[in-house]
Structure 1
Amino acid sequence: MRNKLLFLVFFIFSYCIFSQQIVTWQDLAKVTFTDKYFVAYDDTFMYPTFLAPVKALEGKTITVKGYFLNIAPEQKIYILSKGPMSSCFFCGQGGPETAIELHFIEKPNFKTDDIIAVTGVLKLNQDDVEHFNYILTDCKAILVE
């Protein structure tokens, strides 16, 4: 009985450790952009081409650390940024690869610029200009600092 219990504990621990991958902003920078015209918007947008290391992450559960941006909580619009609000993508301090759209399981209680570690399923987005290039779904997060 003791051996079965030890095996079960080991299996659960291994599953928790290896079922998610720690990803850095440097990993997410493996993308190139070209300008692409979208007829529906009569405008040009930066179109991503995800390199092989990033493509390999699609659909996987990943964890990434960054700054929480509480953009519009009433509309459930939350972002994880490589830098704080004062130097984020929206302020021209980085490219689209420095921000991730977050879809939480439960409403988060973080404040803007809290440093958090978020775990979720990564979706790569090339064509929907109303959403970010990186989207994490089923998000859970913890405060890091």
Structure 2
Amino acid sequence: MNKMLLTILLTIHSVAEQGKPLKASWFTLLHIKYEERYLNDIKGYMLFPKFPQNVKNLDGKLVEITGFVIPVDKTGASLALSANPYASCYFCGGGSPASIITVKLKKRNTGYDIDDYKKFRGKLRLNATDINEFYYVLELSEEVN
């Protein structure tokens, strides 16, 4: 392992240990590889993420990320956060499946509008197995001003 990479990894570990959130970037989260697998349940192929080590290092860590809100839950318990505005998000345009995160809120909030540009803080969980969930889930999240 080269010296610069080791320094970065130690810094990530040190910052996370102190309870300070790491800044998650869409650039990092989007640069993953995919593996196509056949699923008997759906009788078809799905893409599964293959997370590189720099993304795996964020799993379970307190992170902050900024993006475009897509309200998907009428109860306000969760929302989707996208790297792109709604018109070009994963659901509607050219975004990749890695360009969107489920944000599970600590406190329900139904006051978000499509394309509100917001920052959230929460514990990042990587998902490489559940086809009913996005690749990234931000748990116990709260908006950061």
Which bin holds the TM-score, normalised by the shorter protein? 0.7 to 0.9
* Greater fraction helix: 1
Aligned partner of residue 118 in structure 2, secondary structure: strand
Report if aligned partners of 2:63, 2:123 keep a CA contact under 8 Å in 1. Answer: yes
> What is the DSSP-based 3-state SS (H/G/I as helix, E as strand, rest coil) of the residue aligned with 2:91?
helix
Match of 2:34 in 1: 33
1:40-76 CA-partner distances (Å, limit 9, x unpaired) = 2212111110000000000000000000100232374
Q: Secondary structure of the residue that 2:128 maps to in structure 1?
A: coil
Match of 2:115 among 107, 113, 121: 113
Structure 1's unaligned 5+ residue stretches are: 1-13
Give TM-score scaled by structure 2 length: 0.82
Letter of the structure 1 residue corresponding to residue 117 of structure 2:
I
1:99 touches 1:132 (CA, 8 Å); kept in 2?
Answer: yes
Deviations 1:17-39 (A, max 9, x none): 85210111001123111211111
Separation (CA, whole Å) in 2 of partners of 1:129 and 1:42: 13
Q: In the alignment, which residue of structure 2 is the partner of 1:133?
A: 135
Q: TM-score, normalised by structure 1?
A: 0.82
What amino acid maps onto 1:61 in structure 2? L
Matches within 5 A, 1:1-145: 19-74=20-75, 76-108=77-109, 109-142=111-144
SS at match of 2:70: strand
How far apart are the structure 2 equivalents of 1:123 and 1:114? 23
Q: Distance in 1 between matches of 2:58 and 2:76?
A: 27
The alpha carbon displacement at 1:122 in A equals: 0.5
- Identical pairs, percent: 25
Bigger Rg, which one: 1
- Which consecutive residues of structure 2, in runs of 5 or more, have no partner in the other structure? 1-14
Query: What SS does the aligned partner of 1:73 have?
Result: coil
Between 128-137 and 89-98, report the one with greater CA deviation: 89-98
DSSP 3-state at the match of 2:54: helix
What secondary structure sits across from 2:114 in the alignment?
A: coil
Q: What is the Cα deviation at residue 92 of structure 1?
A: 3.1
Q: Aligned residues, how many?
A: 129
